[in-house]
Amino acid sequence: MELLKRILKLVRPYWVRLTVAIVLMAIVGSLSGLTAYLVKPVMDSIFVQRNAMMLRILPLLVLGVFFLRSACDWGQRYQMRYVGLKIISDLRQQLYDHIQDLSLAYVERSSTGVLMSRITNDVNLLQGAVSAAITSFLKDSFTMIGLIFVVFYQDWRLASLAVLILPGAYLLIDSLGKKMRRYSKRCQEAMGDISSIVQELLRGIRVVKAFCGEEYEMKRFDRENERIFKYNMRISVVQGISSPLMELLGAMGIATIIGYGGFQVIKGQSTPGTFFSFLAALFMLYKPMKRLSKVNNLIQNGLAAARRIFEVLDTSIEVVDRPGAKALKGIEKGIEFRDVSFSYGNGVVLKNINLYIPAGEVIALVGVSGGGKTTLASLIPRFYDLRDGEILIDGVDIRNYSIASLRSRIAMVTQDPFLFNDTIRNNIAYGNFEKGDEEIIRAAKAAYAYDFIMELPRGFDTVVGDRGVSLSGGQKQRICIARAFLKDAPILILDEATSSLDNESEKEVQESLFNLMKGRTTIIIAHRLSTIINANRIFVISGGEIVEAGTHEQLMEAGGEYSKLYRMQFLGEKNVKRESAR
């Protein structure tokens, strides 16, 4: 009931159209009853009494009733279709917007395939419940009311006999509906899992082929595919059995009524017209009852989907603006980490970080993988929210700035250069689409990307393909750097921006990065220590703590963790060069 209430709340903006549809459905239901009632005068006046006047009137009346009924039926179908599709469109948009507002932590711990299944598969199932099922439920309910009125009006004794089957039919529908909801929920969960498997395969196809994992992936897909098949077969069994059982119940009722009604006509207690009018109404009553049993299956599918959709919508947004949050205009003094600790679940990632970065300074974070470097940098744009300590910009806690203004003052270039399946122009201008062509070209030149862009078939209008598949690693990275140039933010975060590049590409990218860092407060997360020698200060992070800090020269003289890392990397690079020379 709670789910139904929430679904019905979505209808409120469209109550006018819904009211029109309901009125038209009520007319359709009334006219269905009138159609059944007209059997009595047709039988008694024309075929029994042989009334010529009624022979001229009744066919025209029947034709008029059917014409009006068809017109109203078309009108209600159009209105309900509009309302149903609009509700689903609103819900899909609401779900998409909410997922974007959820914290990065939630998205990272959720399966991408499952979230995609919510927006596509689950919303489509709910559409079936809202548009088709509710339409049929309301229309058939009004039709049944009209026909039941005729049935009782014609012969209340026969009607009472017919009604005895209804409790059995209701219990049957209710029992089958519960099974449908259970199997549908499991089937939808399996669909989410199979979406995740397909997405992982497509993204990691190189790894799969390189490690001969095709057979493993096939078996993994086959298991989930078989699960979906089994649940769908169970759903088919429930759907298949409901219709024959309803027909059997109906046949039992009709056989009883024909026997008892025929006996009344023979005894002269009823006219043939009354009996056939009653029988016509009863036969017409059977169809909407049968459709309602099928509608129940649609509704159960829709309710199972709605539960999964509302689970996402009910997930609280962890990173939000504080009341009265102000806009961050720029950075004048610097960024300060004050007693910052952070954890994912039970795992502590950062411990008591105290760090001050003056405005315009370039600092580097180094250390072994998993030490907490990326997490520390990700706290500045509030991808995650702190539980202990505070981060301040110009002496103000970043949580007192609005999220939009904070992130608009931060540019990021990451190890994985993500490009959208769009033109180079739109990839550079992403988030700053109001910028003109001149500014986009200037950013591309500053990132040393302009020359290779102009060599492409359509220049800035070249579509890069999924994740920039048509470009090299260095080219993708320079487009991302051009995007950061165009944003022109005072704070810059470079997260392993050159670690995945070869030496030649790294040299080109480094030149564009040096341009980008000028005049900006820059945090560099570096794997190759040779790229951060000129940083104002270097911080070594190990086990979530700052264990060393200073310039490159100071840290090398100290002979600590940084010195060990640098010598190991330097010797490794020398050995590689020797092997290459041979």
DSSP of 167-222, one letter per residue?
Answer: HHHHHHHHHHHHHHHHHHHHHHHHHHHHHHHHHHHHHTHHHHHHTT-HHHHHHHHH
Kindly state whether residues 63 and 91 are assigned to the same domain.
yes
- What is the tens place of the pLDDT at every residue in 75-97? 888 888 888 788 888 888 888 88
pLDDT recorded at residue 402? 92
The larger pLDDT score, comparing residue 489 to residue 33, is at 489
In this prediction, residue 500 has a pLDDT band, given cuts at 50, 70 and 90, of low
Q: What is the pLDDT of residues 403-447, one digit of tens each?
A: 889 988 988 888 777 888 888 999 898 888 888 889 999 889 888
Is residue 504, in this structure, part of any structural domain at all?
A: no
CB 292 within 8 A of CB 143: no
Answer yes or no: do 296 and 337 share one domain. no
User: How confident is the model at residue 144, as a pLDDT?
Assistant: 76
Same domain, 108 and 205: yes
Alpha helix stretches (DSSP H) within 418-502: 424-428, 437-446, 450-455, 473-487
Range among 108-112, 130-134, 362-366 with highest mean pLDDT value: 362-366
* Choice between 235 and 27, residue whose per-residue pLDDT is larger: 27
* 530, 440: one domain: no
Same domain membership, residue 195 and residue 84: yes
Query: Quick count: other Cβ atoms within 10 Å of Cβ 52?
Result: 8
Residue 43 in any domain: the answer is yes
- For residue 437, give the CATH number of its domain: 3.40.50.300
Host domain of residue 468? 413-488
Same domain, 275 and 378: no
Domain count, the chain: 3
pLDDT of residue 580: 44
Q: Is the pLDDT of residue 456 over 70?
A: yes
User: What integer pLDDT is reported at residue 537 of this predicted model?
Assistant: 92
Output the pLDDT for position 539. 92
This prediction's pTM? 0.69
pLDDT greater than 90 at residue 335: yes
Task: Check residues 171 and 361 and name the one with the higher pLDDT.
Answer: 361
Residue 517 lies in a domain: no
Domain final position from 488, 508, 534:
488
Instruction: Name which residue leads in pLDDT, 292 or 499.
Output: 292
**Is residue 356 predicted with pLDDT exceeding 90?**
yes
Which pLDDT score, from 0 to 100, does residue 574 have?
A: 47
Residue 518 forms part of a structural domain: no
- Return the minimum-mean-pLDDT range out of 2-6, 340-344, 547-551: 2-6
- Tokens 């940098």: give the residue: 377
- Give the range with max mean pLDDT: 205-209, 212-216, 517-521: 517-521
Least Cα distance to 294 among 182, 132, 124, 122 occurs for 132
Give the N- to C-terminal CA distance of the chain in Å, as an integer: 76
The mean pLDDT of the chain is: 78
Do the domain assignments include residue 514?
A: no
The candidate with the shortest Cα–Cα distance to 301, out of 217, 399, 207, 186, is 186
The per-residue pLDDT for 575 is 47
Least confident span in 204-213, 227-236, 516-525 = 204-213
Q: What percent of the chain has pLDDT over 90?
A: 9
Please compute the mean of the pLDDT values over residues 117-135 and round it to a whole number: 73
For residue range 526-546, what is the model confidence (pLDDT) as tens digits? 877 777 888 899 999 988 888
Is residue 468 scored above 90 in pLDDT?
no
- The pLDDT assigned to 276 comes to 66
Query: Do 305 and 328 belong to one domain?
Result: no
Residue 532 domain-assigned?
Answer: yes
Q: Which helix (H) or strand (E) holds 521?
A: strand 521-525
Residues 432 and 365 in one domain: no
Q: Are residues 367 and 255 in the same domain?
A: no
Domain shared by 368 and 460, yes or no: no
Our CA angle for 539, 536, 574, nearest 5°, is 70
**Mean pLDDT throughout 137-164?**
72
Is 80 in a helix, a strand, or coil?
Answer: helix
Same-domain pairing of 333 and 428? no
Q: Give the DSSP H/E element, type plus range, for residue 337.
A: strand 334-344
CATH number for 172: 1.20.1560.10
- Domain-located, residue 579: yes
Among 247, 280, 313, the domain-final residue is 313
For residue 28, is pLDDT > 80? yes
Residue 392 has pLDDT above 90, yes or no: yes
Same domain? For 48 and 126 the reply is yes
Mean pLDDT along residues 469-473: 79
